[in-house]
Amino acid sequence: MSTAPPPFGAFVAAGASVGRLVVQPRMGFSDPGAMRDGLTRTKAATATTVGTLTIDSYTRVGDLTAARDAVAEGARLNGYPIATHPRAVTRSLLDAVMDDGFPVQVRHGSSRPEAIIRALTAAGLDATEGGPVSYCLPYGRTPLRESVASWARGCELLADGARPGGVPHLESFGGCLLGQLCPPGLLVAMSVLECVFFARYGLRSVSLSYAQQTDRAQDEEAVRALRRLAGEFLPAGVDHHVVLYTYMGVYPRTEQGATRLLESSARLAVRAGAQRLLVKTTAEALRIPTVEENVRALETAAAAAALAGSPPSPGEGPGAGPGADADSEVYQEARTLVETVLGLHTDPSRALLMAFERGLLDVPFCLHPDNAGRSRSFIDPAGRLRWSRTGSMPIRPDAGADATELTASGLLTALNHVAERYDRAAAPQPVG
């Protein structure tokens, strides 16, 4: 590394200060040379970018023996095995790539992140993401209690492993519980709760995530609610920003549909005031994207963001007017959930466990044993995500919800709702 990169949060804030949306790929290769090439080309893209080291599945689940065997055999993995490659190898691939104009974040998916965090800090990195709930419930069967304890240790390791002058950064994955069909109030609440957890265990720079869902106006409400709640619940002095994920569910299969969905996420980020965007590519529904496809996605998103203008001032845009954000149903629902959970115990780790034990947090369609599984959601005729059942959560189901239980066919239709909408819009229309 020729010059030390700025703190991750500071880099994103600097981009926002000059009206530039920071765009970021999901990219990981097991071969250090390929990984370096991916970072180099991300850095050279016509966009304000940060780099990504996405970690392989073996490392995510803690099977470091399998990761070592795969590296020894020269096998291709679906990410970079950061806890297996020697520290010198990782430092070498970052050298002269990660610098004051290009920070790099490690993205993984592990409910037990200690080995990954030790490896990334040893290599001179200090930005990563995840969370005690969001990297536990959707991804496996690790008991939630173990994940919470592991993430508490992971936060402390990240905070203690800072390089001189560094400010470690941790992003909550809470805005992406299962990727889709989760009403925004719960996504917003989980991002806030996980970042409160991060701050409790020593982090002073965090980002709160939200995954694009099914309706533009509802998504704008959600991002604005997330920004406001972050200011209300995070401790003073904790640097924070909002990161938007381009739609994380079933993706359009046509190139035109996928491109339009990506462009819509970039416009959403700008309109709602998110400062960073995780992109998806036109190959998303078909296979693992190439470096070229990732770079094209970064540049497409940056161009769409530049054309989107500036975020609307109060009183402009959908749902505007005095108190519009304060009165939005997403804000009210998310605030109720956050207040309920934090009211259970002064320690957020204890509060999260108690909330799931009592069903006060309940992720729809999530089969993890520690999730109550009594909540259900649906897409209303206008395209908004709503609750048909809320179980023991302190929020009400939608008054107009269809009482008929969702069938397998109905679930598949809902899961494909966004992909089919954008593919239909991209299809040539018959003349006449």
pLDDT, residue 409, reads 83
Among 13, 8, 23, which residue's Cα sits nearest to residue 300? 23
pLDDT, residue 288, reads 85
| pTM of the shown model | 0.93
pLDDT, residue 3, reads 66
Report yes or no: 135 and 177 within 8 Å, Cβ to Cβ.
Answer: no
CATH, domain 8-307, list 1.10.3720.10, 3.20.20.240, 2.40.30.30, 3.30.70.660:
3.20.20.240
Report yes or no: 297 and 281 within 8 Å, Cβ to Cβ.
Answer: yes
Q: Chunk the chain into consecutive blocks of 10 residues (it has 432) and report each block's average pLDDT, rounded to whole numbers.
A: 77 94 95 96 97 96 94 92 96 93 95 96 95 91 96 97 86 90 96 98 97 95 97 96 92 89 95 96 87 95 89 45 64 98 97 98 95 93 92 89 69 81 68 40
Q: How far is the C-alpha of 245 from the C-alpha of 294, rounded, in Å?
A: 14
Report yes or no: 282 and 259 within 8 Å, Cβ to Cβ.
Answer: yes
pLDDT, residue 143, reads 97
- In the chain, the largest separation of any two C-alpha atoms, in whole Å, equals 67
Q: How far is the C-alpha of 25 from the C-alpha of 419, rounded, in Å?
A: 20
Backbone phi, psi, residue 360, to 5°: -75, -20
The token pair at 282 is: 């036109």
pLDDT, residue 284, reads 85
Location of structure tokens 């693992």: 288
At residue 96, the 3 state secondary structure works out as coil
DSSP helix, strand, coil percent of the chain (3-state; round to 5)? 45, 10, 45
Residue 136 contacts by C-beta under 8 Å, 6 or more apart in sequence? 111, 142, 144, 147, 148, 368, 370
Q: What's 303's DSSP letter? A: H
Q: How far is the C-alpha of 218 from the C-alpha of 222, rounded, in Å?
A: 6
Q: How far is the C-alpha of 297 from the C-alpha of 72, rounded, in Å?
A: 33
